Amino acid sequence: MLLTITTTYQPASDISFLFHKHPSKIQEFETTGGKAHVFYPHVSDEQCTIALLLDIDPIGLVRKSSGPAGNEFALEQYVNDRPYVASSLMSAAIAKAFSSAMNGRSKDKPELVEMAMPFRVRLAVLPVRGGEALLRHLFEPLGYTVAVQKHLLNDNVPDWGESRYFTVTLEHTITLQQLLTHLYVLIPVCDNDKHYWIGNQEVEKLLEKGRSWLPAHPARELIAMRYLKHQRRLANEALEVLLKDDAAPEEEEPEAIRQKGRMHTARLEAARDALVQSGVRTVVDLGCGEGKLLRLLLAEKGFEKILGMDISYHALEIAKDKLKLDRLPPRQQERIRLIHGSLTYRDKRIEGFEGATLVEVIEHLDEPRLAALEKVVFQYARPAVVVVTTPNAEYNVKLPMQSKSGMRHADHRFEWTRKQFSKWGERLAAQYGYEVSFRSVGDEDPEVGALSQLAMFKNKTEANDGNNPSATPAD
């Protein structure tokens, strides 16, 4: 909420001509979300400091709904750090308070505009997602000397650890215009929270403010992404324009993520292949998520009827979109359907299918609730073939990133070793009259096995019918 800029340029008081602000006045003006005050804490020929104090109206911020679209039915909308931090609101205030300086104009002393001056900037407080390292990564390539003071969440309870807030001091000899544009762009990038703007004109602002320095910045992608609030489309657009003279930006996907993606595809393909081999003609993908497996299944002509079920309505909407269900030809449309459902409730709509898949689903249920899923699938729906995949916990030692719980995903309630998985599978098979076989999915390590594991269940009574299950799905 507080930005001070100090210079030791001689005579320091000349700086007021750059800011177009009279040193003896305390000016107040309206800005997005509240008011801003501009004043001079210190003026002398040796040193001059100007302050921009942002006075955000916490209630107006919510009531006027000038803020970002958030969930107004969540309490965090009302009690939050926005009134107290340097965020996009600060950038907006900078642009308004110091518009001439930012645009490189000085009525009375135009010669100062192009002059690099020694500046010291202080921000209290700046939220930084990514910590001190990120802060340095953003400012140091531009030539700043960075000094930070970290703040605890609560000084009385040091156990809670550090907050994401810093009082930041930046020093550089630079033109004021450059300094302000850096701050304008990088403050919201540090914050990386709700921005009080977003839209196509932001691309232009970024282009305008970043033209001279962003293309060469090593963190340009991250800056564009965060500045444009993770709207990849906008971010790419901006980068393309900025870099049109250079080589196209490399899609820098970390190896870990790429491997994860490959792995997931391998799992889906394994599930599909298992179904294809079993000869089933009707399939239900239980926990279909955004429809990645459904897409593979749709491509197989042998599947006459495909049903995707998921507990997340949102995921189903994405699936519908990604599979372009509305635009499929009628014949194709008839083959596939999506339903909102749960695996802990019996559901007649999933009964009567020959094949079922549970790809990376069971680990999202609390273990005691698994009993319900077992009944829903193996007792009531009773498909001839069931394919289940789940992470192999043994492999976790080879994975770099793990969540607090020591599992691969924050929502995983358990991850099983191969032994635990096969014990579960064999118990199920015995209880419900299935045969079961297990296999690894992914490159196998001699010690810990592969990333994922797959169980294939075949209904014994159905198998006797010559792999030609007679049931047809209910519509």
Partner 1 sequence: MQKAYNKTGQIQLPELSLVVLMGISGSGKSSFAARHFLPQEIVSSDACRAIVSNDENNQHASHDAFELAQFIVSKRLRNGLLTVIDATNTQEEARKDWVQLARQFHVLPIAIVLNLPEIVCAERNRLRADRNLKKHVLPQQSSQLKRSLRRLKLEGFRQIVELRSTEEVAAVQDIIRTPLYNNKSLVQGPFDIIGDVHGCYDELCELLTELGYQLDKANHRCTAAPVGDDGRQRQVVFLGDLVDRGPDTPSVLKLVMQMVKTGMAWCVPGNHDAKLLKWLKGKDVQLKHGLQQSVEQLLLEPVHFREEIKAFIDGLIGHYVFDGGRLVVAHAGLKAEMQGRGSGAVREFCLYGETTGETDEFGLPVRYNWAAEYKGSALVVYGHTPVPEPQWLNRTIDIDTGCVFGGKLTALRYPEKELVSVTARQVYCEPAKPLHHTTTSLTLQQQEDEVLDIADFTGKRIIETAFHHTVTIREENSIAALEVMSRFAINPKWLLYLPPTMSPSETSRLDDYLEHPAEAFGYFEGVGVEKVVCEEKHMGSRAIVVVGRDEEAVRRTFGISNEGSGVIYTRTGRPYFNDKETEQALLQRLNKALFHSGFYDLFKTDWVCLDCELMPWSAKAQSLIETQYASTGAAAMHALTASLETLQQTALWNGEAQPLINRYQERLQQTNGYIKAYQRYCWSVNRLEDYKLAPFHIMATEGKAWMDKDHEWHMNQIEAVCEADPEILLATPYKVVHISDAEAKQEAIDWWLERTGRGGEGMVVKPFNFVHTGKRGLIQPAIKVRGKEYLRIIYGPEYDSPENLARLKSRGLSAKRALALREFALGMEGLQRFVSGEPLRRVHECAFGVLALESEPVDPRL
Which 276-335 positions form the footprint of partner 1 (CB under 8 A)? 311-313
Q: Label residues 271-287 b or e (16+ Cβ within 10 Å = b).
A: bbebbbebebbbbbbbb
We find the least distance from the C-beta atom of residue 410 to partner 1, in angstroms, to be 11
Nearer to partner 1, 22 or 324 (CB): 22
Of 221, 224, 188, 177, nearest to 204 by C-alpha is: 224
231 is a contact residue toward partner 1 (CB under 8 A) = no
Q: Site for partner 1 (CB under 8 A): how many residues?
A: 70
Nearest to 21 by CA among 40, 2, 46, 48: 40
Residues 104-123 that bind partner 1 (CB under 8 A): 122
- Residue 52 or 325: the one with the smaller Cβ distance to partner 1 is 52
How far from the centroid of its chain's Cα atoms is residue 57's Cα? 29
For the bound state, the minimum distance from the C-beta of residue 356 to partner 1, rounded and expressed in Å, comes to 16
- What x/- string results for residues 394 through 433 when contact with partner 1 is judged by CB under 8 A? -----------------x----------------------
Q: Which of 275, 418, 416, 240 is nearest to 353 (CA)?
A: 275
Query: Contact 357/293 with Cβ under 8 angstroms?
Result: yes
Q: Taking contact as CB under 8 A, which single stretch among the options 77-85, 174-182, 289-297, 457-465 is the one that binds partner 1?
A: 77-85
CA dihedral over 190, 196, 199, 202, signed as positive or negative: negative
Rounded CA-CA distance 440/452 in Å is 6
Span 32-51, contacts to partner 1 by CB under 8 A: 37, 39-43, 51
DSSP state at residue 121: E
In the bound state with partner 1, the residue whose beta carbon lies nearer, of 48 and 235, is 48
H or E stretch at 319: helix 313-322
Residue of 33, 67, 127, 442 interacting with partner 1 (CB under 8 A) = 127
Q: Which of residues 51-70 bind partner 1 (CB under 8 A)?
A: 51, 53, 58-59, 63
Nearest CA to 219 out of 132, 128, 139 is that of 139
Residue 75 makes contact with partner 1 by CB under 8 A: yes
- Binding partner 1 (rule: CB under 8 A), the pick from 15, 124, 336, 388 is 124
Q: What is the DSSP secondary-structure string of 243-309?
A: TTTSPPPP----HHHHHHHHHHHHHHHHHHHHHHHHT-SEEEEET-TTSHHHHHHHT-TT-SEEEEE
Q: Does 26 bind partner 1 (CB under 8 A)?
A: yes
Q: Is 122 helix (H, G, I), strand (E, B) or coil?
A: strand
Question: Contacts with partner 1 in 139-168 (CB under 8 A)?
Answer: 151-154, 156-157, 159-161, 163-165, 167
Residue 53 half-sphere exposure toward CB, CA atoms < 13 A = 11
Interface with partner 1 by CB under 8 A: which range of 105-113, 248-256, 336-344, 353-361? 336-344
Site residues for partner 1 per CB under 8 A? 1-2, 4, 24-26, 37, 39-43, 51, 53, 58-59, 63, 72-81, 83-85, 122, 124-125, 127, 151-154, 156-157, 159-161, 163-165, 167, 311-313, 340-348, 364, 366, 368-369, 371-372, 375-376, 379-380, 411
